[in-house]
A and B are shown apart, each in its own frame.
Chain A
């Protein structure tokens, strides 16, 4: 009974739920603020993403008459729930490790793809032609970054598993524990290609420039999100904020969990979050333009795939 309550707390309060949402929105606010400063603008206040959500909460959700109501309104809910569970699956070194009953790395990988699927559902159910283009782009992009992601995760899982005498381990807790005692994978040259490949994966998964192709505002007017308004759009914003925490949290768990305990560990984790957000998202997105979907597809099949495969090959051999 108590373990179920612990899981509920993990999903709804900490480290998932409210905490992850607040952190995600804070990261988004920092991203917008810093991007603005780098571009010579003043930028919105840090709490702007919160204010946006409050505003959306008080608006009406318009459903297009030609849309499939159930899918149209259900899609954002599925997205948010999947990300809530995913956030509870990400361990924080020295602070929190997910209950085995909740799931492991494999479950997390599948959950990470749910937002993309949800966006595809949203795009196709909205009956907007822009949504349809967004759908096909989201699908192509997902197929492009999926393969490198699997290879990256396999490299980490096999590396940890082999070091512990069995083939692979899909327990994030074990992966974090191994690094705490044997040194971070970030400092292991064998894993560097995988770290780099993950660096390409997360802007694509988070949908930011240069990989914001499915939602490209100047091309397809936010694509799948075009027809959304009010609380339903707010749910998508919540989903995207949670996703930022999950993806960056996964990056930290896979490659750089700090060997600390208690409050310093928690603070260190937050700092890592912010640094990765600024370095991997903010700086990247303001220093590049958008790729075309065919260019992004070829790019992913070339570099990240190759890098991830290289790490895996070295680890296995």
Chain B
């Protein structure tokens, strides 16, 4: 534990306060060593590595099929994106063509997770500014997405929707109807939440012009996902390098120029709404046929890189296979790793009260980053 110096709060000298690794405002263990003078942040030191679980090593001890299950357990909020990108890399090596219906089902799973993930982050923002009624409301709306996941996939967090060579689930009439009715319930609610975040004084007061990440800093840090798009970086893997059937989907990539906490929240809400249109398009144009290529597709020795747009941004997987069933190397770069360093820029001259709000605004996923 780092020593903390206790200074007179009225003196201009800086005081060091620890934020984390255990802190009510942080959902996961991170450690920020923050020097403050009065209420102003003078310096931020970020320290990671509290929940290292050795998953990259573990992945080389498991077969490719087992790794689909393992990668799904790296993180709960982007639990679909990890096996998705992993399977894409394996398919690239094996030259496996995923059946059309499987691609559509993968998009549906990814977008359902996106809705739930974004709503979760936006809800936490309300909690952090002390607006608990809004927090409860957004979480209740998210509950519709959770019930949807439970109904269609059988689980509320880990969907188990991906396998190498396609999707591991299929939609029948009943689950399609459930999907459609849940989307019909979700859409007006999300539009309402978006309106609240756009107009509510309590939210605006605490998020406008807070934690600003300028466009040039965003590019210098290489931030991805909603954080990048809120700072005017027009980049989304679903559009730049369409995978599955995203080239046929109504993917709206919205950018904002302000780069503050509020812009990031608004980008997320917009993407949650956009995800609903994408799922609807999938359901409307869902082809018939097999959902995957069979039980154990052959993956020869080779190496491949795959990337997908996780809720937090671009997720990159590198897979190197050898002659055995276990991969020789599996490595992934998660969006939070890229967005992490931008926190230093966002916290420049921030107020102590805004630290938690700024940290939450990059939607940090520590379990992804420190696997």
A293 to B36, CA, bound (A): 15
Q: What distance in Å separates the Cβ of A121 from its nearest Cβ neighbour in chain B?
A: 13
Confirm or deny: B39 has a beta carbon within 8 angstroms of a beta carbon on chain A.
yes
Q: Across the interface, do A132 and B9 meet the contact criterion of CB distance under 8 Å?
A: yes
Tell yes or no: B185 within 8 A of A by CB: no
Selected contact of B205 from candidates A216, A286, A289, CB within 8 Å? A289
Given contacts A221-B23, A289-B205, whether A38 and B351 have CB atoms under 8 Å apart is no
Contact with B along A282-299 (1 / 0, CB 8 A): 000011111111110000
Q: Are A130 and B17 neighbours in the complex by a CB distance under 8 Å?
A: yes
Contact yes or no, B9 A210, CB < 8 A: no
- Please indicate the chain B residues that have their CB under 8 angstroms from the CB of A248 in the complex: none
Cross-chain pair count, CB within 8 angstroms: 95
Residues of A contacting B66 with CB < 8 Å?
Answer: none
A234 to B355, CA, bound (A): 30
User: Is A294 a contact partner of B205 (Cβ separation < 8 A)?
Assistant: no
Question: In the complex, what residues of B have CB within 8 A of residue A291's CB?
Answer: 205-206
B6 near A40: Cβ-Cβ < 8 Å? no
Against B, the Cβ 8 Å flags (1 = close, 0 = not) of A15-55 are: 00000000000000000000000111100000000000000
Enumerate chain B residues within 8 angstroms of A136, measured Cβ to Cβ: 9-10, 38-39
Q: Which of chain A's residues have a CB closer than 8 A to the CB of B354?
A: 292
CB contacts (< 8 Å) of A219 on chain B: these are 25, 128, 352-353, 355-356
Within 8 Å CB of A213, what residues of B? 353
Query: Cα distance A293–B351 when bound, in Å?
Result: 10
| B15 and A129 form a contact (CB under 8 A) | yes
| B15: A residues at CB distance < 8 A | 129, 132
Interface residue? B192 (CB, 8 A): no
Q: Are B9 and A133 in contact (CB under 8 A)?
A: yes
Residues of A within 8 A of B8 (CB): 132
Kindly state the separation between the CA atoms of A65 and B97 in the bound complex, as whole angstroms: 65
- Does B136 reach chain A (CB closer than 8 Å)? yes
Per the bound structure, the CA–CA distance linking A135 and B353 in Å amounts to 14
Instruction: Indicate whether A212 reaches chain B with its CB closer than 8 angstroms.
Output: yes
The answer on a CB contact under 8 Å between A133 and B17 is: yes
Which of A38, A209, A294 has the most C-beta atoms of chain B within 10 angstroms of its own C-beta?
A209
In the complex, A2 has a CB within 8 A of chain B: no
Determine whether B202 belongs to the interface, using a CB cutoff of 8 Å to chain A: yes
Does the CB pair A132–B6 fall under 8 Å? Answer: yes
B16 touching A129, Cβ below 8 Å: yes
Interface: A127 (CB within 8 A):
yes
Residue of A nearest to B5 (CB): A129
Q: Cβ of B351 and Cβ of A39 under 8 Å apart?
A: no
Docked pose: A66 CA to B36 CA in angstroms:
21
Q: Is A220's CB within 8 Å of the partner chain B?
A: yes
Which B residue's beta carbon lies closest to that of A140?
Answer: B39
Nearest B-chain residue to A217, judged by Cβ: B24
Q: Mark B354-371, 1 if CB is under 8 A from A, else 0.
A: 111000000000000000
Q: How far is the CA of A292 from the CA of B206 in the complex (A)?
A: 7
For B10, list chain A residues within 8 Å (CB): 136
- B200 contacts across to A, CB distance below 8 A: 289
Question: Which residues of chain A from 93 to 142 have any CB-CB distance to chain B below 8 Å in the complex?
Answer: 124, 127-130, 132-133, 135-137
A181 at interface (Cβ–Cβ under 8 A)?
A: no
On whether the beta carbons of A293 and B353 are closer than 8 Å, the reply is yes
Residues in A with CB closer than 8 Å to B355 are 219
Which residues 99-158 of B sit at the A interface, judged by CB distance below 8 A? 126-134, 136-137, 140
In the bound complex, how far is the Cα of B336 from the Cα of A185, in angstroms?
Answer: 58
Contact of B202 among A132, A137, A289 (CB under 8 A): A289
A307 → chain B closest CB, angstroms: 19
CB-defined contacts of A129 to chain B, threshold 8 Å: 4, 6, 15-18
B136 nearest CB across to chain A (Å):
4
Say yes or no: A135 contacts B130, CB within 8 Å: no
> A218 at the A/B interface (Cβ < 8 Å)?
yes
Residues of B within 8 A of A295 (CB): 205
Q: Which residue of B lies closest to A137 (CB)?
A: B39
Q: Are B353 and A292 in contact (CB under 8 A)?
A: yes
A128, A216, A219, most chain B CB atoms within 10 A: A219
Residues B16 and A209 in contact, CB atoms below 8 Å apart: no
Question: What 1/0 mask marks residues of chain A from 173 to 212 whose CB sits below 8 Å from any chain B CB?
Answer: 0000000000000000000000000000000000001101
A287 to B132, CA, bound (A): 8
* CB closest residue in chain B, given A222: B24
| Complex contact B127–A218 (CB within 8 A) | yes
Q: How far is the CA of A294 from the CA of B356 in the complex (A)?
A: 17
The answer to whether B133 and A286 touch across the interface, beta carbons within 8 angstroms, is yes
Is the C-beta of B203 less than 8 angstroms from some C-beta in chain A?
Answer: yes
CA distance A295 to B354 in the complex (A): 13
With a 10 A CB-CB cut-off, give which of B17, B130, B206 has the most chain A CB atoms.
Answer: B130
**B39 lies within 8 A of A216 (CB):** no
Tell me the bound Cα distance from A122 to B105 in angstroms: 58
A294 touches B23 (CB 8 A): no
**Does B191 lie at the interface of the complex (its beta carbon under 8 Å from any beta carbon of A)?**
no
Quote the shortest CB–CB distance from A61 to chain B (angstroms). Answer: 21
In the complex formed, the residue of B with least CB distance to A127 is B6
User: Which has the most chain A C-beta neighbours within 10 Å: B8, B16, B126, B203?
Assistant: B8
Contact A66 B6 (CB under 8 A): yes
Residues of chain B within 8 A (CB-CB) of A128 are 6
* Assembly CA distance A213 to B9 (angstroms): 16
> Other than the known A40-B137, A216-B353, A290-B206, what 11 A-B pairs have Cβ atoms closer than 8 Å?
A66-B6, A132-B15, A133-B352, A209-B131, A218-B25, A219-B352, A286-B133, A289-B129, A289-B134, A289-B202, A290-B131
A-B contact pairs, 13 of them (CB 8 A): A39-B136, A39-B137, A129-B16, A129-B17, A129-B18, A132-B6, A218-B130, A221-B23, A289-B134, A290-B129, A290-B353, A292-B354, A293-B353
Name A residues whose Cβ lies closer than 8 Å to a Cβ of B.
38-41, 66, 124, 127-130, 132-133, 135-137, 209-210, 212-213, 216-221, 286-295
